[in-house]
Amino acid sequence: MKVLVINGHPDSESYISTLFNAYHHKVDLSKHEVKILELGKINFDPVLRFGYRKIMDNDHEMALSRDYLKWADHIVLFFPIWFETVPSLLKGWFDRTLVPGFAFNMEGYKVTKYFKGKTAHLVFTSLAPKIYQKIRGDIERKTVTRLLSFCGIKTIKIDRLAGIKANKNKRGAFIKIIEKRALSLK
The confidence band for 26, taking pLDDT boundaries of 50, 70 and 90, is very high
Instruction: Measure Cα distances from 30 to 7, 21, 50 in Å.
Output: 23, 18, 43
pTM of the model: 0.93
For residue 71, what is the domain's CATH number? 3.40.50.360
In the chain, how many domains are there?
1
In tens, the pLDDT along 125-179 reads: 988 777 776 777 777 778 899 999 999 999 999 999 987 776 667 888 999 999 9
List the one residue out of 61, 77, 58 whose CA is nearest residue 8.
Answer: 77
* Residue 51 zone, left/alpha/beta (φ > 0; ψ -120 to 50; rest): left
pLDDT (tens digit per residue) in 41-58: 999 999 989 988 887 877
* Domain extent at residue 178: 2-183
